[in-house]
Structure 1
Amino acid sequence: MSNEATPPTAATDNYDVMIVGLGPVGKLLAIQLGRAGHRVLIADRKTEGYPLPRAVTHDFEFARILQSIGLAPDTIPEITEPYDDMYVWRNAERQSLVEVDWSGIGSSGWYNTYFFSQPALEDRMEAVLLALPTVTVLRGWSAEVIADDDVVSTRLSNLATADELIVKSRYLVGADGANSTVRRWAGIDWHDMGFFYDWLVVDVIPDPSLEFPHVAIQTCDIARPATMVPGGPGRRRWEFMRLPHETIESLNKTERAWELLEPFGIRPDNSELERHSVYTFQAGWATSWRQGHVLLAGDAAHLMPPFAGQGLGAGLRDVMNLFWKLGAVLDGRAAESVLDTYETERLTHIREFIDFSISLGRVICITDPAEAAERDERMIAELAKGHAPPAPPAPLLGPGLHLSDGGQLSPQATIHFDGSAARFDDLYSGAVLMMAQAELYTLLSPEAAAAIRDRGITVVALSGEHPAVITIDEVDGTYAAWLDQLNAEGVLIRPDFYTFGAATGVETSAMILAFSDQLGVSTLEARA
């Protein structure tokens, strides 16, 4: 923890980015910026990381994001495990209402669904973070923004010694959770969807001799709406909704948790109760994600009910959208105005997922017998007719830094490399121009070729040869099929894995120049 030992001083108080909040969102942003060589200070009021589980599930894009920082799921099997099964919603009589297929491999080359231990994952993320020489980590320090002029001035206060420091940074990111002090300082309002329910969340480490079906189940029972899901290797999670006649205090007791677990065969003599806590599930978002040089990410910017398992994943998507734009601005390769696209691109998907999560919550959070009977009859009939359950929103960007045919998550394929197989992202990162044939590079205009160099774009092709192009050999034809689907010979992939646009050979130059134009006049161009 060497980079945590020396706090900032008057001689070292200037940073590229200050991050408030050492949760997974703040850590990921610090890692991505630190790996790019930017000076980052990340601070948190707590002296230690939160030791108990919160999020327990993630999807294939989340897995791809972890891969980008060296924590791919197959490298940490003791922390995360794939879920290759159905997500079942059933009523009190154990009749299926909805069966969602969470099995299989997603387009990013990872399983569609994983269950994991968040504290263990955060420990691994912190180890990556502490190894970065340009990142300073401060625990036990509060942060108060005191000015946002050309740079952001922040007062840091050591909560143990009362020492104070003033640090300056070009940008500050509030990743400090639902009760964000950064959001309050910035005076940013909150759009509240008015969807509130209290649920007791219980995490258990069962004795290995106990056997449970490895399935994720939502029980839509008016007597007690409940959830049972894996909690990562060796763990299980139950969630129990607070009923109208109960108080939070009466529900949030250890003995009450054991009482609710007993019907599942979970008892003090065969399991460890890792934690129990009542949470109020909420839905809403900040009305602005950027004010001057101050930005928000994760729960500071949005909250959603947990029924789609996307709350933490949404925060990590925020980071991937933000880090490369911040990095481009800091490096002088993009105008500051590109940061305005962060909110517009991400909020569209966030609002769709909030609506989706609320719609799922309205299925399970029912305690009225007549309403539940109507729900059961309707949903059982729909299932019998083979009606597909509502699909979660596709990972798409809202308006922003892409063309009209862009804004989609690119696939990740396995390619041959040095006599073995490797995932594409492990070999090529940043902005990538993927072409069907290397010879298409000769069609690029001199201006487009110059933009490729100036913007740091890597050019790869599926076949052919050209000295400026890397020819890749894919294992199963994923990329060739993708280009055919797009009816394109070239596609420009942004550093966050989303596409900027697609083009035929003769249109590729215009696509590259459009990317360069949307990044804006950089300081490098201004100096030329």
Structure 2
Amino acid sequence: MSGPLQADVVVVGFGPVGQVATLLLARPGRRIVVLERWPRPYPMPRAVSFDGESGRILAATGIGDRLAEVTEPSRDYVWQNGAGTVLFEVDVSDRGRSGHPDSSAVYQPGLESALAERAESSPGVTVLRGHEVVALDQDADRVRVVTAGPDPLEVEASWLVGCDGANSTVRAALDLPVTDFGYFDDWLTCDVTVHDGRVLEPNNLQVCDPARPRTAVSAGPGHRRWEFMRLPDEDPADFGTADSAWRLLGLFGLDPGNATLDRHAVYTFQARFANDWRSGRVLLAGDAAHLMPPFAGQGMCSGLRDAANLAWKLDLVLRGAAADSLLDSYTVERRAHVQHAIGMSMNLGRVICQTDPKAAADRDTAMAAAAARRRGTPAEPAVTALTRGVLRRDPTGLGGVLGPQGTVTRDGVTGLFDDVVGTGFVLLSTLPVEGLLDPARRARLAGLGAHLVQVAPAGSDAAGVLQDLDDVYLPLLADAGAVAALVRPDFYLFGGASDTTGARALVDDLLIHLGSERLSPV
């Protein structure tokens, strides 16, 4: 084995979370080495949807123009009981708060292919497939890993991000404690190509039938998935066979004459998370850090949020713009989000997976009445605002809120905010930035790569001013009584300011969170 490869960050695992982490870290020019144990990408889908925030994160990696190839808006989502009575229904917006559909069905192999192509063509990124990590050690300055195989490698980096899945080698090497909720259900997943041209409505269906809880959903353009829960008295070995899959698919009128069973596999849904996602210079993300049942559709989404949260913090630490204590906020922020998503997923699962007929009948009565009352109202979000971490508590109440994305125009360029302004820190203001902040604070923000943007109503024609065509940003500020808001690179708001004094304090508090000092008394 020759001398170790050198990198700023070594990413272990090259599924969607590892791919997004790699691309977000590579964007500012970091040297990234990716180690993936399998020699070829997994050819079948696992996740089948993501939310609007995840769509914005994926677009930030540079594959926004590829998403339409592998996704479609999820449209409607309906719960029925075994008799077909509607228990819950929601029409998913094709343009939500983040500027993307609130839910998109995705063909995961196509998504991974687009992400991999982007990563493998990015300067500074080296992707090494067929290299399983078998040893890991670290000291105060570096992390070292060794891979197995006929051509073993040693890689040395400043930081390591473990995105290597539920059976994470990285997590095991760190021996990190895990909180396990003891939630286990076996479901048979069937990916099917339908040949008879039928229109499947609703597009996404959950059948809460105590005789057989089951699901039928889009898995991206041209792809469909059906899932069936194993009942308590069924033999696990028999349940996972192709014969069992076809018998259950018959509940939806599918058979070998009108459909092809592309894949079938039994998954055990679980709920757990690592108590700490950082150990020295090693950090966990995605399924390596947390697992949840799929009923809230937040498994892959949570991993993409991990990558977005971690990437900007790690970049600042690597370029000396923040102390490494900033990385302690990663666990604090993301674990709270994940705990909420896990709890919501388990609660939904308990409703869906009810197999007692009497309890299911009581559920149906209550849910059908509630559905009639709620019709037309949005569903409860699976993601909450940040309440701890890198945010500022101020009178505007904007700290921790997920920032919106609308259509804007500036100097003749029109598009979504991220495409027109760019990503990274953004200071939004209704006032000219020169009158809001002194030169020293503007310079410090510029040193962080921040965009300083004055927002005005549609029709304003002053040079350099951003026109709020969708009327998104001005109401956000006005409702909070704010003249400015500071947006983090992961699209969450650091905080707001009600006047120029508050704006200076806003910048100072950010610098303190990053491990810097105030510039001058406010």
Q: Per the shorter chain, which TM-score range?
A: over 0.9
Aligned match for 2:368, one of 370, 373, 380: 380
Matched, 1:53 2:45: yes
Alignment of 1:329-408 (within 5 A): 329-386=317-374, 391-404=380-393, 405=397, 406-408=399-401
Q: Which residue of 2 aligns with 1:279?
A: 267
The SS at the match of 1:326 is helix
Residues 74-120 of structure 1: per-residue CA shift (max 9 Å, x gap) = 643331001232x2111111111222342342111111111010011
Q: Once the 2 structures are TM-superposed, how far is the Cα of residue 338 of structure 1 from its aligned partner? A: 0.2
Q: Match for 2:486: what amino acid? A: L
**Structure 1 residues 216-247: Cα deviation after superposition (integer angstroms, max 9, x where no partner):** 11111111100011111111111100011112
Q: Is contact 1:144–1:182 with CA below 8 Å preserved after alignment?
A: no
The answer to whether the 8 Å contact 1:98/1:389 transfers is: no
Q: Secondary structure at the match of 2:188?
A: strand
Corresponding position of 1:84: 75
Cα root mean square deviation, aligned: 2.0
Counterpart of 2:56 in structure 1 is 64
Distance (Å, rounded) in 1 between the aligned partners of 2:67 and 2:259? 24
Shift, 1:133, TM fit: 2.1
1:485 alignment partner AA: D
Query: Which residue is equivalent to 2:489?
Result: 495
Distance 1:327 1:389, change over 3 A: closer
Report the counterpart of residue 5 of structure 1 in structure 2. none
- The secondary structure found in structure 2 opposite 1:280 is strand
Q: How far did 1:16 drift?
A: 0.7
Shift of 1:415: 1.3
Cα distance between partner residues in 2 of 1:24 and 1:476: 31
Figure out how many residues of one structure are paired with residues of the other and give that number: 506
Deviation sequence 1:476-495 (CA, Å, 0-9, x none): 22111111122111000011
Q: Which residue of 1 aligns with 2:10?
A: 18
Does residue 450 of structure 2 align to residue 448 of structure 1? Answer: no
Instruction: Give the secondary-structure state (helix, strand or coil) at the position aligned to 2:320.
Output: coil
Deviations 1:298-334 (CA, angstroms, capped at 9, x unpaired)? 0011111000111000000000000000000001111
Cα distance change, pair 384–344 in 1 and its aligned pair in 2 (3 A): same
Equivalent-residue separation in structure 2 for 1:401 and 1:276 (angstroms):
43
1:321/1:472 CA distance change after superposition, 3 Å: same
Alignment of 1:464-503 (within 5 A): 470-503=464-497
Residues 389 and 459 of structure 1, relative CA distance in 2, 3 Å threshold? closer
Tell me how far apart the structure 2 counterparts of residues 208 and 484 of structure 1 sit (CA, whole Å): 53
Change (3 A) 1:134 1:346: same
Cα distance in 2 for residues equivalent to 1:244 and 1:441? 67
Distance 2:273 2:389 in 1: 19
- 1:29 equivalenced with 2:21 (yes/no): yes
Aligned to 2:126: 136
CA distance in 2, matches of 1:268, 1:55: 25
Distance, in Å, in 2 between the alignment partners of 1:504 and 1:441 is: 16
Distance 1:385 1:60 in 2: 26
Shift of 1:158: 4.2
Structure 1: gaps of 5 or more residues: 1-7
Correspondent of 2:101 among 108, 111, 128 = 111
SS of alignment partner, residue 258 of structure 1: helix
Deviations 1:45-100 (A, max 9, x none): 1001111110101111111111112222x643331001232x21111111112223
CA contact (8 A) 2:66 2:114 kept: no
Among all aligned residue pairs of Structure 1 and Structure 2, give the percentage whose two residues are the same amino acid: 43
Q: Deviations over 1:429-450 (max 9, x none)?
A: 1111011121x53242344233
- Mark the runs of 5 or more structure 2 residues left unpaired by the alignment: 458-462
Q: Give the conservation status (yes or no) of the 8 Å contact 1:60–1:108.
A: yes
Q: Confirm whether residue 413 of structure 1 aligns to residue 406 of structure 2.
A: yes
| Pair 1:206-2:194 in alignment | yes
DSSP-derived class of the 2:154 partner? strand
Secondary structure at 1:203's aligned position in 2? strand
1:151 Cα offset (Å)? 3.5
Q: Secondary structure at the match of 1:356?
A: helix
Q: Which residue of 1 aligns with 2:460?
A: none
In structure 2, what is the Cα distance between the partners aligned to 1:435 and 1:479? 9
Q: 1:4 is matched with which residue?
A: none
What is the identity, as a one-letter code, of the residue corresponding to 1:515?
A: L
Deviations 1:458-503 (A, max 9, x none): 1000149xxxx94212322211111112211100001111110000
